A and B are shown apart, each in its own frame.
Chain A
Amino acid sequence: MEILIVQILNSIFQAASLFLLAAGLSLIYGVMRIVNLAHGNFYAFGAYVSAWTVGAAVALAASRGINLGVAGQLVLLPLGALAVAALGAIVEPTLLRPLYRRPEEYILLITFGLLMVLEDVIRLVFGGTPLTAGSIMDAMGSIPIGGLLYPAYNLVVVGVGVVAAIGLWLFVYRTRFGVILRATSQDRRMAAALGLNVGRVYIQAFAIGCFLAGLGGAVVVPAQAAVLGMGVDALVQAFVVIVIGGLGSLEGALVGALIVSAVRTAGVQFFAEIELAVLYLIAVAVLLWRPTGLFGRA
């Protein structure tokens, strides 16, 4: 019984990070109709920046005899997400905007080039060794679940995921900016004709999408190390999530992330050999059965 609870918690923990990643991808696609192949590497970049910042801060503080404490470290964690949002705010106007008038294949290529560049920038800046913010994990300790010990930090991530899901929903459906976002995603020209600054909406949407990717990366590094190649792996999983949930749908990203994480958790247990293949086959089956995903519209 305890094991089942732990497995479910683990699966929700994974889903939280995956949801953030996929929601960002989906948001960017929904508003701008761009499939950002570099999205996974934005996620990886966020993970590295956060892990490095926390590690460096802890080391610096320790050398002066200060203990940062759990709160101090947790506050530093979202820095990775902010860094990625800033990166996104630079990338959209400089690299993507000049290509909106050309066939959509070219934007895809730019993001593919960006993927390669980011892969090596990460290696160049942070080196080839895995980075973690494990100090947070250690500092927070574990809580007992029945007879088992479960890391308390994982529950924080679950909380972040829940807050992010609710926050995003409120943001998109209950704020003025959300209305603008949705209007732009429905009809770009109409939005422009109504006097909306589409250029600014795009840069904001892209930066928010990137922020979500970075946050998805940032929250995992206390539990799992940031490693080279993690972005490319993550992107395909995010694709599976939004295929299942529906392109451009936030609810879809949430449900998709929960499904994918549950399948993976079960997969490791019961069909480890073909866990990933099963995941892709589920995505294929959903696409064939419902091309627009569970929550997609068009």
Chain B
Amino acid sequence: MPTARTGPSFLWLLAGGVPVVVVLAVLPPFIGVYQTQQLTYGLAFAIAALGFNLLLGYTGLLSFGHSAYFGAGAYAVAFIIQRLHVHSLELCILGAMLGAMLVSALFGYACVRHTRIFFGILTLALSQVLYSLALKFFWVTGGTDGLRASWNGLTLLGGLIDFKGSGAYRRFVVSYYYYVLGLFVVAVLIMWVIVHSPFGKALQAIRDNETRAGFVGIRVRRYRWIAFIISGLFTGLAGALWVPLNGLTTPEVLYWPFSGEIVFMTVLGGFRTFFGPIIGAVTFNYLKVYAVASSQYWQLVLGTVLVVLVMLLPAGIVGTLGQLANKLRPKQLQQG
């Protein structure tokens, strides 16, 4: 009976993950409301990037239209709060996931017939259909003004937590942070299982060699479609969580440069690693926030920083760190 290493152990994930989550959990009192908010944004984007990377890193498909699923989630939440007067965030999230699933199932069905640049352009074009519809059908979407989704009407955990009375904003920021952190942990665990499941292996096989994947009996197109929908669901969840934090959703999140930002987060962190997109998303969020705060010309600052990072980090942040760690490892170990 072979007992050798057969894959990354779950214990290893816990050993690495638990301390990080513990640190994240005790952080808010030390860093204040503003930073807590920023971290929440970072975690929400991390969920989006995690979903995006199931396609890029594991299935080998570069989507340039993930703004559509983020936007679908965001608009669904805002619509449910504002027009249907629902208060429970769980119900909103449920609606958002349903919306993101519908859109990604529909778009994905068309897109997975293609690969490489054609896939990218198709996802881009479809996302822009959604964008232009959001602009034009303002009686549903609020047009360029977007839809407001105020946090103070919300309840969390089925009504257990609401935000009335004094100090409500502060309470919202802190409890919402834990709420997003909890969902983030769940999302990471689910994604970790997916990519290490037989299904995840099949996706990687499709990424490496589509032809041969068919010849070992994998239904390539169907699997790509399922990956596409899962990816859309994660990104839709991220969009849903982003709305209450932001207070409103505007067509900006459906516009294609936002898709570019999601791509950027993922590649910046390292798309050939599981945790890369998470690190990339949090980093990107901070870079953007500080660029916006530091200069009226924040795109110039951010763009320059990003170009330099891409030049300096050949495998993204996590990938490059991994390579460095390998180099620094003692020689004997490498040879042994």
Contacts and interface: CB of A to CB of B under 8 A. Distances in A.
The answer on direct contact between A and B (beta carbons under 8 Å) is: yes
Contact of B122 (A112, A114, A287): A287
Contact of B132 (A95, A114, A280): A280
Nearest to B134: A277
Interface in B114-131: 114, 117-118, 120-122, 124-126, 128-129
Contacts of A108: 62, 263
Contacts of B260: 37, 112, 115
Interface residues of B, number: 41
Contacts of A232: 255-257
Interface residues of A, number: 42
Contacts of A120: 297-300, 303
B297 A106 contact: no
Nearest to A275: B132
Contacts of A191: none
B310 interface: yes
Contacts of A268: none
Nearest to B295: A120
19 contacts: A35-B117, A35-B120, A105-B267, A106-B310, A110-B307, A112-B263, A114-B303, A116-B299, A116-B300, A116-B302, A120-B299, A120-B300, A124-B297, A124-B300, A273-B136, A274-B133, A280-B125, A281-B129, A288-B122
B117 A247 contact: yes
Contact of A276 (B118, B132, B271, B304): B132
A124 to B, nearest CB: 6
Given A95-B307, A105-B263, A236-B124, 18 more contacts: A29-B117, A108-B62, A112-B306, A115-B303, A116-B299, A119-B300, A232-B255, A240-B125, A243-B121, A243-B125, A277-B136, A283-B121, A284-B122, A287-B118, A288-B110, A288-B122, A291-B113, A291-B118
Interface string A111-127: 01111111111011000
Nearest to B313: A106
B69 to A, nearest CB: 16
A163 interface: no
A105 B257 CA distance: 15
A170 to B, nearest CB: 28
Interface of A: 29, 35, 37, 95, 98-99, 102, 105-106, 108-110, 112-121, 123-124, 232, 236, 239-240, 243, 247, 273-277, 280-281, 283-284, 287-288, 291
Interface in B261-292: 263-264, 267-268, 271
Contacts of A277: 129, 132-133, 136
Given A105-B62, A239-B121, A276 B128 contact: yes
A276 B125 CA distance: 10
Nearest to B260: A112
B126 A284 contact: yes
B43 interface: no
B314 interface: yes
B311 interface: yes
A117 B300 contact: yes
A117 B295 CA distance: 13
A63 B263 CA distance: 50
A159 B56 CA distance: 44
Contacts of A102: 314
Contacts of A288: 110, 113, 122
7 nearest CB pairs, A to B: A116-B303, A120-B300, A276-B132, A117-B303, A113-B307, A116-B299, A113-B306
Given A35-B117, A247-B117, A287-B114, A119 B299 contact: yes
Contacts of B114: 287, 291
Contacts of A124: 297, 300
A23 B248 CA distance: 39
A196 to B, nearest CB: 24
